[in-house]
Chain A
Amino acid sequence: MEALMNHKFVALLKREYVEHRNGYLIIPAILFGFALIAFAIQLMGFGELDFDDLHINSSENLGAAMKRAVAEAPEGEVAAGVSMIYWSTSAFAMIALPFILFFSLLGSLYEERRDRSILFWKSLPVSDTQEVLAKVVSGLVIFPLIFTVLAAVSQLIMAFLVSIFVMAQGGPVMAMWPLFSMIDGWISFYLYFLLMMAWISPLLAWLMLVSAYAPRMPFVFAVLPIAALVIGERIFMSSSNLIQWIVGRFVGFAQHLNNVNVHGPKDIKSIIGLNGLPDALGSALSSGQFWIGLVMAAAFLWGAIELRRQAN
């Protein structure tokens, strides 16, 4: 029975992927592609490169600059810096990511009611709980995973392009492949992303509740009540607790970073890399706000499941 349940759940995740292939794969892939092209054009000398404290106006001297950096920068700084610069291929996709997530969750339980396909889903022996959880997992776990893999692939392509230039200019090619630091970056990006999702979970689950409830225009049903409450609180109570609470969700995963001194790429890496993860996790688990958020998210999801049970 357990195996069958898992089998069903995998089928549900596959279906979610098929439904959201454009948002989860195609659009991010195109945006990563754009960033790579932009970067390649820069490399060809049409722009300039900013290696943090090393500013290079034209990539003609990239090889030379890297040689100098390897010789002069402290141990580990170049590897950290290079691996961080490679994240620039994510610039466009990273802007699109929250929008894709927002609208896929908001439509997750609304579209199936709008096009009546819910009647087909419900004609099959799959519970409403499984359906809703599959949508949660695909949006908050699978999508970020695909995104991270795309980021990794784009960074490998970028490293390859840079290597060709550096080699042609007689620079240190191996310095362009800080693989350990790059892999650390990919894994920690994904794990931080999951932690951030957990912090924001009450808001994400709210989107799914609205998606299960809204008779039409889920965007309006999701945003308007909250906007009205925020404005109402401001006018009638002259306070702004709700908006502060919402902002707190978004910055929560980084709350332990107050008063941290940072000097150079290596320090940043040590905070946002895997080394910094235990602190971020500990800070979350010891925060009452974090747990309250998870309980709220569970309540909203329970509501979404009940609403779907009643829907036809």
Chain B
Amino acid sequence: MTELVVEAKALSKSFGDFQAVKDVNFTIPKGCIMGVIGANGAGKTTLLNAILGLSSFEGDLKVLGKDPRRQRTQIMDDVCFISDVATLPKFMRVSEVLDYVDNVHPHFDRSKAEGYLAKTNVPMDKKVRKLSKGMTTQLHLAIVMSVDAKLLVLDEPTLGLDILFRKKFYQNLLEDFFDGERTIIVTTHQVEEVEHILSDVIFIRGGEICFESDMDSLGTRFIELMVDPGNEDAAQALGPISRSKSFGKSTLVYQDVSRDELAKFGETRRLGLADVFVAVMEGEV
């Protein structure tokens, strides 16, 4: 049996009358890179906050076998996270931030962080207040990557970074951090960028998990068909989950219909994660 890093049963969270997370059940096994995809306000951050012990919730939730409500401190020995806003303390110098993390975190490797920073333009003696947004994020990522954590939670980690650094970051994440023993949860709007590193994906809408799959089967489960003229009715009869028109041709998206069957009516293509997301969201409306 696979070890579970996160285990949620009937997890809910309300803010007054608004239910941000509705009775959600899911598990995240050790060694996976889980993408959590959803529109703004879908409940992604609320869900992550519950996992990280940053907010109260109803239901049953275990992170590394511990209760985040009461055991945040112990959980943080083995969990790292970056939330979607710049949060590093502005009054500290870069070196002071490293000193502090080094002193309070049992699994922080300072020389590793300094190694990452040496490859950037982040100056050690400047205050965080004086750094650009990109530099602040680079510093935060360098810290997070230098903690020997069992679970890494990234909420929009590369927001505000240029494309070169974003690419390098995900590359580093795979090469240096991820080793199959560790687990990563990542949310982002730049779906295309994380697509190739994810092993599993969850779609969230209105506080509910509306879709979950591993990435391998995603390619076979979702197929786009550009229908040859004359085959429209036959193709429609197979029950596409979404449809659009491009270059004068109907483009239909199917879930769990075999590729051989679809190939009779036109050209088939596997869908990217972003397109799957759009198709699933539209298909459910």
Contacts and interface: CB of A to CB of B under 8 A. Distances in A.
B279 interface: no
Contacts of A116: 83, 85-87
Interface residues of B, number: 33
Contact of B54 (A4, A12, A115, A119): A119
Contact of A123 (B80, B91, B99): B80
Contact of B100 (A11, A310, A312): A11
B64 interface: no
Contacts of A121: 89
Nearest to B46: A312
A122 interface: yes
Nearest to B97: A120
Interface string B47-86: 0010011111000000000000000111111001111011
B41 interface: no
A8 to B, nearest CB: 5
Interface string B20-34: 000000000000000
Interface string B267-282: 0000000000000000
Given A12-B104, A15-B100, A119-B54, A124 B76 contact: yes
A118 B55 CA distance: 13
A91 interface: no
Interface string A267-283: 00000000000000000
Given A117-B89, A125-B73, A125-B105, 7 more contacts: A14-B99, A115-B89, A116-B85, A122-B76, A126-B73, A127-B73, A310-B55
B86 A122 contact: no
A14 B91 CA distance: 13
Contacts of A126: 73, 76, 104
Contacts of B96: 15, 18
19 contacts: A4-B106, A7-B103, A8-B104, A11-B104, A18-B96, A112-B89, A115-B87, A116-B87, A117-B87, A117-B89, A119-B83, A120-B89, A122-B52, A123-B83, A124-B101, A125-B73, A125-B75, A126-B73, A312-B55
Given A11-B103, A125-B104, A117 B90 contact: yes
Contacts of B52: 122-123
B257 interface: no
Given A8-B104, A115-B90, A312-B54, A125 B76 contact: yes
Contacts of B75: 125
B160 to A, nearest CB: 14
Given A18-B96, A310-B55, A312-B55, A120 B104 contact: no
A11 to B, nearest CB: 3
A229 interface: no
A10 interface: yes
Contacts of A125: 73-77, 104-106
The 6 A-B residue pairs with the shortest CB-CB distance, nearest first, are A11-B103, A312-B54, A125-B76, A120-B87, A119-B87, A127-B73
Contacts of B80: 123
Categorize the interface residue count of chain A: 20 to 34
Contacts of A11: 99-100, 103-104
Contacts of B72: 122, 127, 309
Given A116-B86, A122-B52, A312-B54, A19 B91 contact: yes
B223 to A, nearest CB: 41
A64 B152 CA distance: 75
Interface string A284-312: 00000000000000000000000001101
Nearest to A21: B91
Contacts of B86: 116
B100 A119 contact: no
B173 interface: no
A300 to B, nearest CB: 21
Nearest to B91: A19
B88 interface: yes
B92 interface: yes
A122 B56 CA distance: 14
Contact of B92 (A4, A15, A119, A124): A15
Contacts of B92: 15, 18-19
B136 to A, nearest CB: 11
Contacts of A119: 54, 83, 85, 87
A124 B104 contact: yes
Q: Which of A15, A18, A119 has the most CB of B within 10 A?
A: A119
Interface in A93-133: 112, 115-127
A312 B84 CA distance: 12
Q: Which of A11, A115, A125 has the most CB of B within 10 A?
A: A125
A115 B140 CA distance: 16
Contacts of B49: 312
A12 B100 CA distance: 8
